[in-house]
Amino acid sequence: MTKSSYTKADNERIESAYDEYLMPIWKSLDVPVREASGCTLTDFEGNEYLDLFSGISVVNVGHGNEAVANAATDQLERFVHGCSYVHPNEPVADLAERIAEITPGDLQKTFFCNSGTEAVEGAVKLARKHTGSKEVIALEMAFHGRTLGSLALTGNRAYKDGMAPTLNDVAHAPAPYQYRSSHQDCSEAVFAERAAADIERVIDAHTSGDLAAIIVEPVMGEGGIVVPPADYLERVQTIAHEHDALLIADEVQTGYGRTGELFACEHFDVTPDILTQAKGIANGLPLGAFTAPAAIADSFESGDHLSTFGGNPVACAAALASIGELEGEVTANAREQGNWLTEELEALENEYAVVGETRGLGLMQGVELVNPDETGPNGVAPAPDPSLAKHVSSHLRDAGIVMGVGGFYKNVMRLQPPLSITQEELERGLDGLRVALEAER
């Protein structure tokens, strides 16, 4: 179909098919997409949108990336399915080897699955098998998935309403979210100490001490782009080890260049005991993974875990090509544009009273919107303003810009574009954000 033959009727047909034949878990379609290239989405009427959200932080090397498309097509013609362990194959072997090379420290052996949720659940199983212990500490506001096991780790009632009981043996510790913490006025180093001490208190108060793992997102994504203080991750790992437990870094959202390093743990000089991956790993083809040092990974025995589609050769071939792009210029671009964007967003804090805080690493940036006339939960910081975020998002959409909205209080604008984005495209996005904020003044 050429762009000129796109029609409004096609958009409407898709919307009504969604209403009639899909389960209603999303209130309305955001932007129907007919095709996409780089950072541009095109709907069925031929309208173009600047994509600043990458399909929830997935299409890291850009829509329609040629190297990824060629690698996937080539593999599609050769051999589509082998179940990674039933028919050992080249893309799985090569990708596992590449992951051992690009992940920090001694992370070496990988299990492939199909999604972030599965990676998280598999990682917890491995931690249990390795330690012989059961309990897991996760963080309040964390998001680790929606199946019953991963939902138990997710620290947000919004995802759990009506879905209990989930796994037991999970306790949640406060997130390292200084903007809304009662430890407002201390230095970053002191806050890191206090946030880590919160974890020790939760272990003592809410577990039996039979700890298998502590799971953290190095930068919290769905929780509202929360960047922890510099020493936090290292301290959390020390606490885990003192309890003979493992640190699981959930890099489903932060991995594969998103934060300007291939993995966000690298910003904090930490090699986790298990590293989960998905989202950006194969630039949109379904693939998840978790990786551990041999001494931990070898705790799994034959039959302990498996996935029929996990390690699909087409997705693995796409991942290999995508990693090639990330190691070329794309991660460097994420770092460079991310540094530029960080400064531009910081300026918004002074320009608009409704911008409470901006924060992020690389091209994982958040703009927390607030009502400056009201005080937030626990009397700390201005009140979150989720309704403003909703309005800003729809202004942006009308202006042809897709930006995410998230956060524990649903008041954080999320800028997580393809990492290949140009400064001009980011400038367009920022101009759009300013216009939307002006319109809501």
What tokens does 26 get? 């999303």
What tokens does 383 get? 């009140």
Give the C-alpha separation, 76 to 70, whole Å.
10
Nearer to ligand PLP, 318 or 354 (CB): 318
Q: From the CB of 56, what's the least distance to ligand PLP, in Å?
A: 6
**Region of 40-48, 109-117, 170-178, 299-307 interacting with ligand PLP (CB under 6 A):** 109-117
Q: From the CB of 435, what's the least distance to ligand PLP, in Å?
A: 29
Q: What angle do CA 351, 354, 358 make, to 5 degrees?
A: 75
Three-state DSSP at 30 gives coil
**Counting contacts by CB under 6 A, is residue 104 touching ligand PLP?**
no
Decide if 178 contacts 230 (C-beta within 8 A).
Answer: no
Nearer to ligand PLP, 26 or 350 (CB): 26
Decide if 259 contacts 361 (C-beta within 8 A).
Answer: yes
Sequence-ordered strand ranges (E) for 48-91: 48-51
Quick one: which of 116, 224, 376, 407 contacts ligand PLP (CB under 6 A)? 116
Give the C-alpha separation, 284 to 72, whole Å.
11
Nearer to ligand PLP, 246 or 430 (CB): 246
Nearer to ligand PLP, 311 or 382 (CB): 311
407-411 contacts, C-beta under 8 A, 24 or more apart? 407/222, 407/223, 407/224, 407/225, 407/366, 407/368, 408/141, 408/156, 408/223, 408/224, 409/224, 409/384, 410/384, 410/386, 411/224, 411/368, 411/369, 411/370, 411/384, 411/385, 411/386
Q: From the CB of 296, what's the least distance to ligand PLP, in Å?
A: 20
Quick one: which of 175, 219, 249, 278 contacts ligand PLP (CB under 6 A)? 278
Nearer to ligand PLP, 47 or 147 (CB): 147
Give the C-alpha separation, 262 to 245, whole Å.
25
Q: From the CB of 217, what's the least distance to ligand PLP, in Å?
A: 5
**Counting contacts by CB under 6 A, is residue 277 touching ligand PLP?**
no
176-181 contacts, C-beta under 8 A, 24 or more apart? 176/139, 176/226, 176/228, 176/229, 176/232, 177/141, 177/220, 177/223, 177/224, 177/226, 178/229, 179/356, 179/357, 179/359, 179/368, 179/381, 180/376, 180/377, 180/378, 180/380, 180/381, 181/380
Q: Looking at beta carbons, which residue is closest to ligand PLP?
A: 116
Q: From the CB of 370, what's the least distance to ligand PLP, in Å?
A: 24
Quick one: which of 115, 259, 322, 365 contacts ligand PLP (CB under 6 A)? 115
Nearer to ligand PLP, 376 or 418 (CB): 418
**Region of 97-105, 140-148, 205-213, 360-368 interacting with ligand PLP (CB under 6 A):** 140-148
Quick one: which of 38, 55, 145, 360 contacts ligand PLP (CB under 6 A)? 145
> For 390, what's the count of Cα atoms within 13 Å in the CB-facing half-sphere?
7
Nearer to ligand PLP, 121 or 357 (CB): 121
Nearer to ligand PLP, 219 or 389 (CB): 219
Q: From the CB of 288, what's the least distance to ligand PLP, in Å?
A: 6
**Counting contacts by CB under 6 A, is residue 143 touching ligand PLP?**
yes
| Nearest CA among 355, 3, 276, 283 for reference residue 117 | 276
**Region of 25-33, 110-118, 125-133, 289-297 interacting with ligand PLP (CB under 6 A):** 110-118
Three-state DSSP at 275 gives strand
Nearer to ligand PLP, 32 or 221 (CB): 221
Residue with tokens 């991310």, as numbered in its chain: 338
Site string for ligand PLP, 347-366 (x = CB under 6 A): --------------------
Binding residues for ligand PLP restricted to 205-264, rule: CB under 6 A: 217, 221-222, 250, 252-253
Quick one: which of 92, 120, 292, 419 contacts ligand PLP (CB under 6 A)? 120
For 283, list phi and psi in degrees, rounded to 5: 55, 30
Quick one: which of 54, 108, 117, 259 contacts ligand PLP (CB under 6 A)? 117
Q: From the CB of 261, what's the least distance to ligand PLP, in Å?
A: 16
Nearer to ligand PLP, 123 or 370 (CB): 123
Give the C-alpha separation, 12 to 408, whole Å.
32
* 165 cis-preceded (ω within 30 degrees of 0): yes
Quick one: which of 144, 235, 395, 414 contacts ligand PLP (CB under 6 A)? 144
Nearer to ligand PLP, 44 or 177 (CB): 177
Q: Interface residues with ligand PLP (CB under 6 A)?
A: 115-117, 120, 143-145, 217, 221-222, 250, 252-253, 278
